Amino acid sequence: MPTQERGKVVGSAAEAVIDVAAGSRLAVGGFGLVGVPDRLIAALVDTGVGELEVFSNNCGVDDWGLGLLLAQHRIRRVVASYVGENKEFARQYLAGELEVELTPQGTLAEKLRAAGTGVPAFYTPAGVGTPIAEGGLPWRYNADGTVAVASPPKEIREFRGRRYVLEEALQADVALVHAIRGDTEGNLVFAKTAMNFNPLCAMAGTVTIAEVEELVEPGEIDPAEVHLPGIFVQRIVETGPQEKRIEKRTVAS
């Protein structure tokens, strides 16, 4: 465990992730390139840890975010809803080097939220009548392009004349999140689109590590403005302003 300076506060991103073990299940916040815990991910790269299973909306881009772990083959399996901006991700998946479980975006969000509220599973109409529910999606390929591991069928049940598929919660060993502001008790405020997955990933983590652009003392954040209460956060580190990145720059003529 890292040496904590003030309760939940640790001195650096490196210290915050020092004990993340090989094979850990990670819930990683971010939506596209917004709200990605980039300092924590970079520190995790430096530890050399591998065989990770990652739950995240997407897997970063080739040179940033989770793409850094992916490029070094540190990630064994990914549960995500959108993976279209990373060429190395596609290459590893199609070459049989990476296992991928594609999940509807709303279902992924609820699987994370459910873990944080102690709900082991839930029924949803999303995916009924498709391979999401019926099975057969290629999770992992062989090098020759044949399917090595396919998704299993899921339980279907009817409520009030409509069919629903059973989805299990996603409990992570460690969650990595980014917030624009936090206090030393772990109460967090997220900026705009960063709200989409960071709070849910934080809830899903057994140990949640938050990087914040600004760290303040308890009471300096209005309780009405807190997006995630500190009960969900075990470690917090101040990393300063985050670089603003643009996925596809468009310039008007």
The candidate with the shortest Cα–Cα distance to 37, out of 248, 236, 249, 247, is: 236
Q: How many residues does the chain have?
A: 253
Q: What is the pLDDT of residue 2?
A: 59
Residues with Cβ within 8 Å of residue 175, at least 6 apart in sequence: 26, 27, 28, 29, 201, 202, 203, 204, 205, 207, 208, 209
**Per-residue pLDDT at 43 exceeds 90:** yes
| Neighbour-count burial for 226-249, b at 16+ CB within 10 Å, e otherwise | bbbebebbbbbbbbeebeeeeeee
pLDDT per residue over 120-146, tens digit each?
Answer: 999 999 999 999 999 999 999 999 999
Q: What is the pLDDT of residue 60?
A: 86
Q: What is the DSSP letter of 108?
A: H
DSSP letters, 64-75, are BTHHHHHHTT-E
Q: What is the pLDDT of residue 242?
A: 84
**Per-residue pLDDT at 73 exceeds 60:** yes
Q: Residue 6, class by beta-carbon neighbours within 10 Å (0-12 exposed, 13-18 middle, 19+ buried)?
A: exposed
Q: What is the pLDDT of residue 32?
A: 86
Tokens of 134: 């019926």
pLDDT per residue over 215-244, tens digit each?
Answer: 999 999 999 999 999 999 999 999 998 888
Tell me how far apart the terminal alpha carbons of the chain are, to the nearest angstrom. Answer: 54
DSSP letters, 201-236, are HHHHEEEEEEEEEEEE-TTSS-GGG-SB-GGG-SEE
For the chain, which domains are there?
A: 13-120+169-238 (3.40.1080.10)
Percent above pLDDT 70 for the chain: 98
Neighbours of 128 (CB within 10 A): 16
One-letter amino acid at 89 equals: F
Q: What is the average per-residue pLDDT within 188-196?
A: 95
Tokens of 192: 């705009």
pLDDT per residue over 149-176, tens digit each?
Answer: 999 999 999 999 999 999 999 999 999 9
Alpha-carbon distances of 101 from 123, 130, 147, 173, rounded to whole Å: 18, 14, 13, 18
Q: What is the DSSP letter of 123?
A: E
**Per-residue pLDDT at 251 exceeds 90:** no
**Per-residue pLDDT at 88 exceeds 80:** yes
Q: What is the overall mean pLDDT for the chain?
A: 94
pLDDT per residue over 91-104, tens digit each?
Answer: 999 999 999 999 99
Q: What is the pLDDT of residue 1?
A: 55
The candidate with the shortest Cα–Cα distance to 59, out of 45, 35, 34, 78, is: 78
Q: What is the pLDDT of residue 6?
A: 65
**Per-residue pLDDT at 249 exceeds 90:** no
Tokens of 131: 């391979």
Query: Is 0.85 topped by the overall pTM?
Result: yes
